[in-house]
Amino acid sequence: MNVLALETSCRNASVAVLENDRLLSHCEFGSSRRTAQAFALEIAGQLSSVGWGPGDVQLIVVSQGPGSFTGLRIGVTAAKTLAYATGAPVLGVNTQQVIAYQAEGDWAEITVVGDAGRQQLFVDCFRRIADRLEPACSPGIVDISAWHQSLSDGQWVTGPGLSQRVDQLPAGVRSTPSADWLPRAATLGRIGYLEFQAGRRDDLWNLKPIYYRPSAAEEKLAQR
């Protein structure tokens, strides 16, 4: 199966193409090129690098969030547009789950944190069972100070929310290598392919980003 994976939730967006779960090509680019126009060029370039055209794509996998509002909108819109144009199915994958899959170490349970702004973090927990991950807590947004107080000895943590505070972790709390904190399209594509093979499907028309909170505009509207 020819898989195209699109990751735009963080400052470094990435695109990957895979044959089943085998990576063929992968590129990363900074936030300055994370625009709709530049992203379309990156997608076309990656497809061309393996000799594919849009019609050769058989599954489109996109990072669904949480993460950057603008980035997620660009990624999900691109995925849905391609899916509509080519007839390929589209699958959304939770960004925090992608990061957990990348986490190295002998952990059985891990907490993934993303930067939610406003001195807050996106927080998800996952439990490793054989080669699968299962949610181990309710996802949500937590104040940084409260999250620090909740940490316990021996706990594993990962994710981009650690980038400016890993040195502040309590003694005994273990973090994964920083190279694995940001989600990668290559990992995203592998997860999407395996979940699709296991029977999971998403509806093209109802696929939306997962933000964990309303946008600033929505919050202002709600206050009126």
Count of the separate structural domains present in the chain: 2
29 contacts 14 by C-beta, under 8 angstroms: yes
Q: What is the pLDDT of residues 126-178, one digit of tens each?
A: 999 887 899 999 999 999 999 999 999 999 999 999 988 898 899 999 999 99
Structure token pair of residue 164: 């400016």
Per the listing, tokens 């190295």 go with: 104
| Co-location of 148 and 191 in the same domain | no
| Structural domain ending residue among the three candidates 146, 161, 180 | 180
Q: What is the pLDDT of residue 122?
A: 96
Mean pLDDT of 43-71: 95
By C-alpha distance, which of 110, 101, 122 is closest to 155? 110
pLDDT at 66 over 80: yes
How far apart CA 107 and CA 61 sit, in angstroms, is 27
How far apart CA 94 and CA 66 sit, in angstroms, is 7
| Co-location of 186 and 218 in the same domain | yes
| Residue numbers of the domain that contains 159 | 104-180
Mean pLDDT of 115-120: 91
| Co-location of 174 and 65 in the same domain | no
| Co-location of 6 and 91 in the same domain | yes
| Co-location of 69 and 14 in the same domain | yes
Q: Which helix (H) or strand (E) holds 189?
A: helix 185-197
> In CATH, what number is assigned to the domain containing residue 18?
3.30.420.40
224 or 178: which leads in pLDDT: 178
* CB atoms inside a 10 Å sphere around CB 168: 10
How far apart CA 175 and CA 164 sit, in angstroms, is 13
**What confidence category does residue 115 fall into, taking pLDDT thresholds of 50, 70 and 90?**
very high
Indicate the burial class of 127 (C-beta count within 10 angstroms; 0-12, 13-18, 19 or more).
Answer: middle
* Mean model confidence pLDDT for the chain: 91
Q: What is the pLDDT of residue 35?
A: 66
How far apart CA 192 and CA 198 sit, in angstroms, is 10
By C-alpha distance, which of 27, 31, 38 is closest to 9? 31
